[in-house]
Amino acid sequence: MSELIVIGYDDHAVARKAFKTVQKLRDDHVVELKGLAVVRVDEDGETHVDTPAKTEEIALSATAGALWGLVLGMIVLTPGIGVVGAALGGLIGKLNQMGVDRGFRQKVSDLLAPGSAALVVMATKITEDRFATAVEPFGGTVLKTSLPEESERELAEQLTGSTGAA
């Protein structure tokens, strides 16, 4: 099971500092990451995803990378998506089944007002008390949901076109 944590900030610089803290927590084995990014919204309302230096050190398989990209895209880049193709519709449906429902995505969208930023963390293991203590000094609004392992596996199969049968 993965934890999807989104922490909203009024300031991009604060989000970047929190990002660096989470990287240190990864190095200290407080959190195992599947994905880590800073999302900022400029004054014109345009969304930018930033994966600052060292993120590449997170060893991701192609499937895990695709899963992270899809989850990140669905929660922050397309909250008001309208008409979609059948394949994307199926993936959106799977995300809804995983707990990344419209309500959660709307809360994330509400955090991302022009001029704000958010830290987005997808963790497979986390020592919650140590994580919370480390990011607490930055403040922010925390949103969290769990992504069950079975749902992640099904989504990965859908992304790769495999059936998972051996």
pLDDT tens sequence across 33-58: 888 888 888 888 888 887 754 444 45
pTM of the full structure: 0.76
For the chain, the residue count is 166
| 71: nearest Cα among 163, 151, 166 | 151
Are 109 and 6 in contact, with CB atoms under 8 Å apart?
Answer: no
Q: What is the pLDDT of residue 142?
A: 95
